[in-house]
Amino acid sequence: MKKLMCTVLTALMAVTMTVSLRSVRLTADAAEVANAGKAAYLCDFDTGTEVYAREAEKRLPIASMCKIMTLVLSFEAVESGALGYDEMVTVSGNASGMGGSQVFLDTGLSYPAKELIKTVAVCSANDSCVALAERIAGSESGFVARMNERAKELGAENTLFANCTGLPKDPQYSCAKDVALMLRELLRHEKYFEFSRVWYEDFRHPDGRTTSITNTNKLIRRYTGCDGGKTGFTSEAGFCLAATAKRGDMRLISVVIGADSSESRFGAIEAMLDHGFACFETRVILEAGKELDVRAAVRGGKKREISVVAERPLTAFTKRGEEGEFTVSYDLDAHLKAPVEKGETIGRATLYCGGVEIGQTTLLSGESSPRLSWWDALRETARNWQ
């Protein structure tokens, strides 16, 4: 069935494919088949391989999809210790006065940061965005400056933020490729999925009242494997959506900007994801956490050699049924000295396809090797002498 689907889609889209470093391009206009809007993009999460792009670097308003970066900075603040999930965040009049989508926060009341982050991820709450921005950076303007700095660090060269909500304000823009890049970064935070999968929930206020929140990403329920993403809409930006779905070992990211209706954005994303899952596959070449067939030498250690594991998997994203010549090279620390603790960085593994580098991962020690004491060394010398 998958082979038939791939054949049909290939005929419809007049697909031609070339394989090169981190790029598998489709020349057909898959987004137009699905009646998408002004720009569209599809890529693999693990490798960043581009599968489809149409007007992907065109600068356009993206409405609430800019909250992807708001969430990235919020999770990074938590992980760095600058913000606690259970920390109570007091809401300013500026935050509670935000228009558009909101959860109706009350000025002067305090809410757990975790709950505010959840409302941004689930129902795109503008008031929660500003409350978090003010807490993390002292002001929304300070937070926006960080958003722009982080965008540049990620390589999002066609992105400029003017606020943390996506409400219309000039100059403010991004592009489909940059949105995918930012969503890819957000997906690296496992805690995000705890919020992104929520469909419906009652948000409780400190004074006892509740506000019902519903996920704006309808694909969470209707598309198999979809577990995250961000919608956006303003009259200027049109209907926008960035979404991700995972099936087996493969996770894809797809973006549509400026669709003419809510349904057409969902349909466009579904069509691109369908094509990706039907015609491509992810091969796990090196598993994370599994002992490798190489060992690291340790100077002055009770264990002269220790096991080695990969910090994250090395994967190859290819067309289904396509053969590839994959090789992995290991660069281990040649001057590793005891003591070595389990989980310590001791090298790097690089994955090649046909001699072209397509991925890297850090190598970690799979076990500890304490320092050899003077007495241990003496006993070992005596044993060897005997």
The DSSP code sequence of 257-277 is EEESSHHHHHHHHHHHHHHHH
Percent of the chain with pLDDT over 70: 87
Average pLDDT of the chain is 89
Please, are residues 36 and 242 in contact by the beta-carbon 8 Å criterion?
no
- pLDDT band, residue 10 (cuts 50/70/90): very low
Given a cut of 50, whether residue 22 has pLDDT beyond it is no
Measure the CA–CA gap between 201 and 212, rounded to whole angstroms.
Answer: 6
Token pair, residue 331, equals: 């660069």
- pLDDT band, residue 354 (cuts 50/70/90): confident
Q: Which of 385, 318, 322 is nearest to 351 (CA)?
A: 318
pLDDT digits (tens, 9 = 90+) for 305-336: 999 999 999 999 988 888 778 999 999 999 99
- pLDDT band, residue 20 (cuts 50/70/90): very low
218 belongs to the catalytic site: no
Check 74, 124, 196, 365 and give the catalytic one.
Answer: 124
User: Residue 346: which residues within 8 A CB-CB, separation 6 or more?
Assistant: 296, 308, 332, 333, 336, 340, 363, 364, 365
Q: Whole-prediction pTM value? A: 0.83
pLDDT digits (tens, 9 = 90+) for 142-175: 999 999 999 999 999 999 999 999 999 999 999 9
Measure the CA–CA gap between 205 and 287, rounded to whole angstroms.
Answer: 44
Output the pLDDT for position 362.
96
Rounded to whole angstroms, the maximal C-alpha distance in the chain is 86
Given a cut of 80, whether residue 291 has pLDDT beyond it is yes
Given a cut of 50, whether residue 29 has pLDDT beyond it is no
Measure the CA–CA gap between 250 and 282, rounded to whole angstroms.
Answer: 5
Please say whether the dihedral angle defined by the alpha carbons of residues 49, 53, 58 and 59, taken in this order, is positive or negative: negative
Given a cut of 60, whether residue 104 has pLDDT beyond it is yes
Long-range contacts formed by 7-13: CB under 8 A, 24+ apart:
9/274, 9/275, 9/278, 9/279, 10/279, 13/275
Check 67, 114, 218, 230 and give the catalytic one.
Answer: 67
CA atoms within 13 A on the CB side of 176: 30
- pLDDT band, residue 355 (cuts 50/70/90): confident
User: Residue 61: which residues within 8 A CB-CB, separation 6 or more?
Assistant: 168, 172, 173, 234, 236, 237
Please say whether the dihedral angle defined by the alpha carbons of residues 71, 75, 78 and 81, taken in this order, is positive or negative: negative
- Written as one letter, the residue type at 311 is E
pLDDT digits (tens, 9 = 90+) for 57-69: 999 999 999 999 9
pLDDT digits (tens, 9 = 90+) for 168-225: 999 999 999 999 999 999 999 999 999 999 999 999 999 999 999 999 999 999 999 9
Given a cut of 50, whether residue 11 has pLDDT beyond it is no
Measure the CA–CA gap between 177 and 115, rounded to whole angstroms.
Answer: 30
Output the pLDDT for position 14.
29
67 belongs to the catalytic site: yes
Percent of the chain with pLDDT over 90: 80
Please, are residues 141 and 98 in contact by the beta-carbon 8 Å criterion?
no
* Residue listed under structure tokens 């419906």: 200
Q: Which domains does the chain have, with CATH numbers?
A: 2-280 (3.40.710.10), 287-365 (2.60.410.10)
Check 64, 128, 196, 365 and give the catalytic one.
Answer: 64
124 belongs to the catalytic site: yes
Please, are residues 178 and 60 in contact by the beta-carbon 8 Å criterion?
no
What is the rounded average pLDDT of the residues 132-136? 98
Q: Which of 222, 232, 385, 369 is nearest to 300 (CA)?
A: 369
